[in-house]
Structure 1
Amino acid sequence: MTLDEFRDSLDAPAPPAGLSPALLGLWHQGKGDWEAAHVTVQDDDGADAAWVHAHLHRVEGDESNAGYWFRRAGKPHTKGDLGAEWAEMAGALLAQGR
């Protein structure tokens, strides 16, 4: 799936089948459902889910908590535009097949 296809899927009422927890979390966040996104990634111990978890706490405005999750993900604590960050993360995870 390409990033454009992933973005287009946000118009559907349900996510595409077979998404990883990290991508499913981004899908829910892309729909504006922070709670569903958070529930999706909070119990996954993987680095990809931790990366998305960090983004979600940035969206929430909790930079301290975001920093914790960026460290767990092994990623730098970014502070740029949230929409650009979402697209970067989705693109990277899709390119890796995750």
Structure 2
Amino acid sequence: MTYEQFLASIQPEGDLPPSLSPELESLWHAKAGHWHAAHEIAQDIPSKTGSRIHGLLHAIEGDFGNSAYWYHRAEAPSIRGQDIDQEWETLVRSLLKS
């Protein structure tokens, strides 16, 4: 799946594309406006990428203190509000390549 196809699949009332990794499922839900679903998935991903996604979700909700904690666990620099869309895109593009 390309980034453009992934992005086009995201609809608030749409269906999740089949065969996505938990990381991409969480990011899909985040962009579709399903924060709680995205968070439920992210908190069960034990990797650094999972922690980074978890941090992104807390940034989306405006909880930058909690976000910074998760970015620290991911060993990645924390983000601020203006970086949310870029971080989401960076994560999706990197996950689609792997």
Name the TM-score, length of structure 1 as normaliser: 0.88
Q: Runs of 5+ in structure 2 lacking a partner?
A: none
* Structure 1 residue runs of 4 or more that deviate by more than 6 Å after TM superposition: none
Aligned length: 96
Instruction: Supply the distance in 1 between the matched residues of 2:45 and 2:19 (Cα, whole angstroms).
Output: 16
Cα deviations across residues 18-42 of structure 1 (Å, max 9, x unaligned)?
A: 2111111000011011011001111
Query: How far apart are residue 81 of structure 1 and its match?
Result: 2.8
Supply the RMSD in Å over aligned alpha carbons: 1.4
Instruction: Could you tell me which runs of 5 or more consecutive residues in structure 1 were left unpaired when the two chains were aligned.
Output: none
Counterparts of 2:73 and 2:46 in 1: how far apart (Å)? 9
Q: Secondary structure at the match of 1:81?
A: helix
Match of 1:73 in 2: 74
Out of 82, 85, 94, which is 1:83 matched to?
85
Q: Compare 48-57 and 12-21 and name the one that shifted more.
A: 12-21
Q: Conserved in 1, the CA contact under 8 Å of 2:30 and 2:38? A: yes
> Comparing both chains, which one has the higher relative contact order based on Cα–Cα distances under 8 Å and sequence gaps of 6 or more?
1
TM-score by length of 2: 0.88
